[in-house]
Amino acid sequence: MPERRSSRLWPLALSLALGTVASPSQAFDLQFRQNNTNLSAVELQRIFSRSLPRTYERQFPESRWTTWLMLDAYPKKGMVAITLGLCPRLGDGRALLPAATLSLLEPLPTDPAGLQRLLGQAASRFGELMLANRGRIPEVR
């Protein structure tokens, strides 16, 4: 998948890039928007495929759910905002507003490996929270 970056001026709908993450044990839909980072789509896919719990795909299959990430780095302030969301899918590429989200504001790591670790931790925490609260997350049929 080609790398895409967004501008702060673009509406969210235009700044989402669609990618498919696949590993032998899981595959899920990932949409993302990023500002002020140099992570490629491939790097984000790798981070997520290694970080989400293995049971995530079984509980939130890509045929019925979209997982998304908004990543905004603020180098001058030394902060990064990470928001992960889960949306029920209505059909081909269409999803509702998020059924659940996790937002974090963290110190911006000083190196790429630190940012990758932080994103991996956020993805793992998000996946665990979604699985723990599966019965409370509404689904559209």
45 in any annotated domain: yes
Is the whole-model pTM more than 0.75?
A: no
pLDDT in tens, 40-95: 878 888 888 889 998 998 999 888 888 888 889 999 999 999 999 888 877 665 55
Q: Report the pLDDT value the prediction gives residue 33, as an integer from 0 to 100.
A: 78
6 in any annotated domain: no
Domain count, the chain: 1
Q: Are strands 17-22 and 94-95 parallel, antiparallel or unpaired?
A: unpaired
pLDDT in tens, 100-110: 899 999 999 98
Give the whole-angstrom CA distance, residue 55 versus residue 32.
21
Instruction: Give the angle subtended at the CA of 88 by the CAs of 86 and 91, to the nearest 5°.
Output: 135
Give the whole-angstrom CA distance, residue 15 versus residue 12.
5
Task: Identify the bridge partners of residue 101 per DSSP, sorted by sequence position.
Answer: 85
15 in any annotated domain: no
Give the whole-angstrom CA distance, residue 86 versus residue 133.
12
| pLDDT score of 114 more than 70 | yes
